[in-house]
Structure 1
Amino acid sequence: MKNDPVSMRQALKELGLSTYEANCYLVLLTSLSPTATEISRLSGVPRQKIYEAMEKLHLLGLCSVKAGLIRRFEATPPAEAFAQLSEKLKKEATERIGKAQRMSEMATMLYESAKGGGDLMTQVEICKNRAQVRRTYYRLLDSARSEIVAFHKPPYVVHPHDLKQKKEALERGVDMRVIYETLPDSGKQRALEKEIKARSRVGEKSRLSGLLPMKLLVVDGACVLLALEHGTTGAPSFTSLAIRHQGLAKALSRSFEVYWSECGGKQRK
């Protein structure tokens, strides 16, 4: 591998770093404990994006923060940093393979159940806009009698303070469990955790997870509302479907249980 900046930047991006993060890291390798302002000037990364990029590098173990009146950054010795990163990537790959195998089992069950379930399209409602998604979401909350499980991830369509319908469902004895996708922005993550605490006070059980596969709501093991992301460029775009189908609900509930078990250490009470 060439060690010129262009080749190194591309290699870092292939490891999962953004262009901004790669540029900042290259500055760290050739600078002596620079400040955020210095990193911004040398890397060309906008000042307002520096701390977000440096936080990611710190989380990956590629740099450390030096305490003092002025915050300075220092590259972790590369041999140590990339040994740790290699182990992290191996662990993530193993987890992804396991999830793919479990998804294969659940998809097979769904495929087989759909074969004998008649015309599935007669049980599908396509939600064409945000207002329709919100109406369907609240209607399903109001209809719940025993259990609700959900994946919540941005961008959010439903108002974040949707406690009225949730509280009413919980008062009816509905068991409600929600997995929230963690947010890369530390400020937004703190706001999310504050919101989760408010929901836990009305009885919602919640846990935090990394990247979730979809937005999902399963009600009483029979009704599903899911939003599937599509498109690879630009802002995320979703198609939302409300489906009444027990086979699909059962398969997606099993998927939820896998994630619920795996993020058990991140429970919020």
Structure 2
Amino acid sequence: MLGLNEEEERAYRLLVRAHETDAEGLADELGTTTEAAAATLAGMRGAGLAREVTAGRYAPVAPELALGPRLAHNQERLDRARQTVALLADEHRAGLRRRDADHLIEVLPSRAALREQVRRLQDGAREEVLAFCRAGHVVMPSQDNTEELEALGRGVAYRVIYEQALLEEPGMVANVAYGIKLGEQSRAVRTLPVRMMIYDRAVALLPLVQHAGGLTETTAALVRDSSLLDALIALFEAQWERATPIRSPEEGQVTDALQRCPLDSDELYLLSLLVAGVPEKTIASQLGLSLRTVQRRVYHLMRLAGAQTRMQLAWHAARERWL
């Protein structure tokens, strides 16, 4: 790998061990003629592997000086080769996408295949996962998505938009709060157009049939780098901008606006659920409170905001950037 042939490598190793030798001594060690050994030593001297200390006697040049530059040169060549392979691979994938749509969109024919891809892609995510979560699970309940918890633990960012009806399902408010505590950024909208997950902005996964019957197997699409993927990312960002942030009591995020906010963390959480459209009755049941207690806390929020209606409360919270 350093550009030495077998005889040069043996001769250099022997020279390093002996520290100093002549052609006759090297010939005895290599089992060759004195003339051949002398030629080898002369070649090693020319290659910077050996130096002549006295007439006819040679010592090795230190390995870091003799072989270090060769190693650095080979590393540069290897790096250039890797870059070339990466460019060729990009060109190859681009050609496949132009000529064969199967390499752009892969159809997953079953619920089991979709579940496996959700698991594999989250396990392989390195930077960011974007998700639309609609009511009524297709593959698994949100509580069973343990891969998200592991990904959050290794530093993958999650931005998730929840459909209002999903937040009304039993256990979801607590589940979302736990995800936020671990680092998930959560927002809510009244309705979402599609279920979807996007991994590292490189691949998207979404069901192709929104309302399959009980006897119909789920079919999904795996969309790779393309203009279609760019459109799905733009769709997510547009929904993210209009969605309402959900703040958990354990979130612990402090901004200038929150520092000026008169609400404590529990009140902010209640306010974010109200603005997201979750009914007071659902909030009460999921938080283990009575409806009267929730209504009393909502009235307290309205009094702090100087609002007469819940709509005015939401408007005031938006104007003051409480959420």
TM-score of the aligned structures, taking structure 1 as reference length: 0.50
Greater strand share, structure number: 1
Q: Mark the structure with the bigger radius of gyration.
A: 2
Higher relative contact order (CA 8 A, sep 6+): 1
